[in-house]
Chain A
Amino acid sequence: MMSQRRGIHVDQSELLCKKGCGFYGNNAWQGLCSKCFREENQREKQKQIQEDWALAERLQREEQEAYASRHQKTQSQSAITPFSKFEERKTKEKSSKVNTVTKFFIPSTKTPPKKDTSFDSHSSPSPSSSASRHSFNDGDQATREFIDFLKPLKSGREIFKQCRAFTESMVYKRDIGADELSECVQDFYQNLSDRLHTQFKGSTDHVESVMDEVEKYMMTRLYKEVFCPETTDDEKKDLAIQKRIRALHWVTIEMLCVPVDEEIPEVSDSVVKAITDVIEMDSKRVPKDKLACITRCSKHIFNAIKVSKKEAASADDFLPTLIYIVLKANPPRLQSNIQYITRFCNPSRLMTGEDGYYFTNLCCAVAFIEKLDGQSLNLSSEEFDLYMSGQASPHWPQPSGASLGAAAGSAALSQVHKRLDLLTGLGERQERVMEKARQLESDLIDWTDEVEQKVQSVLDSFPPEPENPAAPAASGTTAAPAAAASSAIDSDNVENELLPPPLQPQVFAG
């Protein structure tokens, strides 16, 4: 009892939050309450980011010093540096006052932690925080990666500042049309890449890689706002193409003249992979990643064609196969994805790159599917209508078919009859088996009864002899004391019940 009370006493003090805020803490939160723990955690994250930036800054400074010492005459370079630093600091101060969710990602070395925690714990509902809360975690991740990428760059801070400002401004623009949104984003890409070329003297490859990261960061954050926006009829188009593809489920490889042979395991494997990849496109957020899915899908298609045809695939082979894959996959939100990529992808990638080529082919495949008619499948328009309405299917013979169809039909019918006969035969056999089983069961019961009767009759006819009860040598008598002993134990057990109940521990006062 005393230990119990002491336990409670100790717990009471340990259960409380270590910060002494009066709430209960939790071991999983290092003895803090949820609120205090979150504050602590945010502060640590903040510190980590600050340290990272400090490191990046130091490295940059060292690099610049090394550069300056190597090129003594380029004094202008070093003259610029302090000014740009000053500007950076100014930005930092300014940004620390901006009350948004992105705030604690900003390298605000001067922000006192107190201010930060108060913001985080109360999560004041600033206009953009509610808007971007749902994509918070992805945005968080994207921002982190973006910062990591920009760290080693001289102009990293500047780029980040611009991208963040632009992304935030876009959130307020979501009511304008999708084309205007696209225009804004494309203008931003253009201006930024121009600036990277001229101001920061980046090489083409370098600028490309920076622009890739910029696209990734911005589109991850903006995805929810600009993918399939309400201002467009993208969703309607999605449903239309989805319905259309479903209605075309009967299209076969032969109709499209697809040069792949799915009998070959490797080919069917590639086909499945291609289908998976084109479906996966919808799960990606960044236009570049979506394009990568299309490219992977295309590579699998090429592989399937190459294995089937034993030669490199040309566009004549590729496009029909892609159409076939799209028909089989029925990728979710196909039109939205295509529109999203055209609107927000880096234009250079879309216009000349390999990814752009595959994307164009996908657009072609979709356009073809939308306009598909009997002629383009080498079918008469009557056949096409029959297939579309579901009254006939190329997989089974037409009901209105001629003698060939009738013959095929009767063959199928006789096969059905044969199967039915087989089924009834099987049923009968099962009945018989069940009957036999029941018989066996009753036989077994009869047999045990019989045995018991026999034993009884034998015992009756040979009653135990009372003349020599104490003959120790007889085998029968050795069993008798054993039986007695066992019964004695049993009786012992019976006697147990007569014993008084076990003593109950008694409680004494004091």
Chain B
Amino acid sequence: MAAAAGGSRTYSFKVVLLGEGCVGKTSLVLRYCENKFNDKHITTLQASFLTKKLNITGKRVNLAIWDTAGQERFHALGPIYYRDSNGAVLVYDITDQDSFQKVKNWVKELRKMLGNDICLCIVGNKIDLDKDRNVSVEEAESYAESVGAKHFHTSAKLNKGIEELFLDLCKRMMETAQADERLKGNGSSQSASSRRGVQIVDDEPQATPSGGCCSSG
């Protein structure tokens, strides 16, 4: 999905934000894109679709962050949201064991649907509430490693760990995109990758509704 402009490349990445309600997905992304937390004077109308322009080692990156509805009843709609996404940020609340279980379900589902094309980040949010921690650091980090994801600890309130999280995710997505390109050869790579995307748009809605994802929950 990365598009070329003349000689220098501009990458556009789609990142989905997954996680139960109340884990602080919205705060996290608002803090990252607008550097705001619980601001009384909110000017942003919405925090469900946000963009961020980055410059990583001289390469321009456009990040589109898609928030998803975290309620259990919308769980089955996940595949519609995350098709064609390059990365996923899976957020849980370190004080809430349940939310960590949900993350595990998401990971299973994403790996099943998108394989290794997607870069995963597992994020334990609200580390300012460390005294109430219910998910142990070791458990979370070993799980992340076992599924090929990176683990981060963040606090949207204290603005900790968020920049690092997205920077790392972007770097990994760039590597994946470059590897993809090398694999497909240089000339036809763009049209090939775009065509693939189009076909997925055509076929996926019918092909991947809800399915077995609920059974694991």
In the complex, are the beta carbons of B81 and A360 less than 8 A apart? yes
In the complex, are the beta carbons of A350 and B190 less than 8 A apart? no
* A314 contacts across to B, CB distance below 8 A: 25-26, 46-48, 67
Stretch in contact with the other chain, from A11-19, A100-108, A130-138, A299-307: A299-307
Taken residue by residue from 182 to 198, chain A's Cβ proximity to chain B (1 for < 8 Å, 0 otherwise) reads as 10001100110010010
For the complex, give the distance between the alpha carbons of A207 and B167 in Å.
29
Stretch in contact with the other chain, from B5-13, B92-100, B103-111, B150-158: B5-13
Tell me the minimal C-beta distance from B48 to chain A in angstroms.
Answer: 4
User: Would you list which residues of chain A between 300 and 355 have a CB under 8 Å from chain B?
Assistant: 302-303, 305-306, 311-316, 318-320, 342-343, 347-348, 350-354
* B46 contacts across to A, CB distance below 8 A: 302, 305-306, 312-314, 318
For the complex, give the distance between the alpha carbons of A348 and B141 in Å.
36
In the complex, are the beta carbons of A368 and B198 less than 8 A apart? no
For the complex, give the distance between the alpha carbons of A187 and B192 in Å.
11
* B73 contacts across to A, CB distance below 8 A: 368, 375-376
B71's partner among A302, A316, A350 (CB-CB below 8 A) is A316
Given contacts A190-B191, A313-B45, A351-B84, contact A204 B25 (CB under 8 A): no
For the complex, give the distance between the alpha carbons of A510 and B66 in Å.
98
Q: Does B213 contact A (CB under 8 A)?
A: no
Q: Does A489 contact B (CB under 8 A)?
A: no
Tell me the minimal C-beta distance from B126 to chain A in angstroms.
Answer: 16
- Main secondary structure on A side of the interface with B: helix
Q: Does A364 contact B (CB under 8 A)?
A: yes
* A186 contacts across to B, CB distance below 8 A: 195, 198
In the complex, are the beta carbons of A311 and B42 less than 8 A apart? yes
Tell me the minimal C-beta distance from A461 to chain B in angstroms.
Answer: 96
A368's partner among B4, B21, B77, B195 (CB-CB below 8 A) is B77
What's the tally of chain A residues with a CB closer than 8 Å to chain B? 45
Given contacts A343-B202, A368-B74, contact A352 B14 (CB under 8 A): yes
Q: Does B3 contact A (CB under 8 A)?
A: yes
What's the tally of chain B residues with a CB closer than 8 Å to chain A? 48
* A316 contacts across to B, CB distance below 8 A: 21, 26, 67, 69-71
| Chain A residue with Cβ nearest B70 | A316
For the complex, give the distance between the alpha carbons of A353 and B64 in Å.
8
In the complex, are the beta carbons of A347 and B67 less than 8 A apart? no
In the complex, are the beta carbons of B205 and A357 less than 8 A apart? no
* B26 contacts across to A, CB distance below 8 A: 312, 314-316
Q: Does B30 contact A (CB under 8 A)?
A: yes
For the complex, give the distance between the alpha carbons of A306 and B76 in Å.
27
For the complex, give the distance between the alpha carbons of A363 and B49 in Å.
16
Taken residue by residue from 201 to 212, chain B's Cβ proximity to chain A (1 for < 8 Å, 0 otherwise) reads as 110010001100
Q: Does B194 contact A (CB under 8 A)?
A: yes
For the complex, give the distance between the alpha carbons of A187 and B44 in Å.
38
Among B25, B44, B67, B209, which residue has the most Cβ atoms of chain A within 10 A?
Answer: B67
| Chain B residue with Cβ nearest A314 | B26
A320's partner among B4, B5, B48, B69 (CB-CB below 8 A) is B69
| Chain A residue with Cβ nearest B81 | A360
In the complex, are the beta carbons of B48 and A363 less than 8 A apart? no
A364's partner among B14, B70, B80, B202 (CB-CB below 8 A) is B80
For the complex, give the distance between the alpha carbons of A316 and B84 in Å.
21
Q: Does B197 contact A (CB under 8 A)?
A: yes
Q: Does A420 contact B (CB under 8 A)?
A: no
A318's partner among B13, B25, B44, B69 (CB-CB below 8 A) is B69
In the complex, are the beta carbons of B190 and A194 less than 8 A apart? yes
For the complex, give the distance between the alpha carbons of A31 and B175 in Å.
74
Taken residue by residue from 28 to 44, chain B's Cβ proximity to chain A (1 for < 8 Å, 0 otherwise) reads as 00100000000000101
Given contacts A190-B194, A342-B202, A367-B209, contact A312 B44 (CB under 8 A): yes
Q: Does A441 contact B (CB under 8 A)?
A: no
| Chain A residue with Cβ nearest B210 | A371
| Nearest 10 Cβ contacts at the A-B interface | A314-B26, A315-B67, A319-B69, A376-B73, A315-B48, A357-B49, A302-B46, A204-B5, A364-B77, A312-B47
A sample of 20 inter-chain contacts (CB < 8 A) reads A186-B198, A190-B194, A204-B10, A299-B45, A306-B45, A314-B46, A315-B48, A316-B70, A318-B48, A319-B69, A319-B74, A342-B201, A347-B197, A357-B48, A357-B66, A358-B49, A363-B80, A364-B81, A368-B77, A376-B73
Known: A316-B26, A343-B202. 20 other contacts (CB 8 A): A186-B195, A186-B198, A194-B190, A194-B191, A204-B3, A204-B10, A302-B46, A312-B44, A315-B17, A319-B74, A348-B194, A351-B14, A354-B51, A358-B49, A360-B66, A367-B77, A367-B80, A367-B205, A367-B209, A368-B77
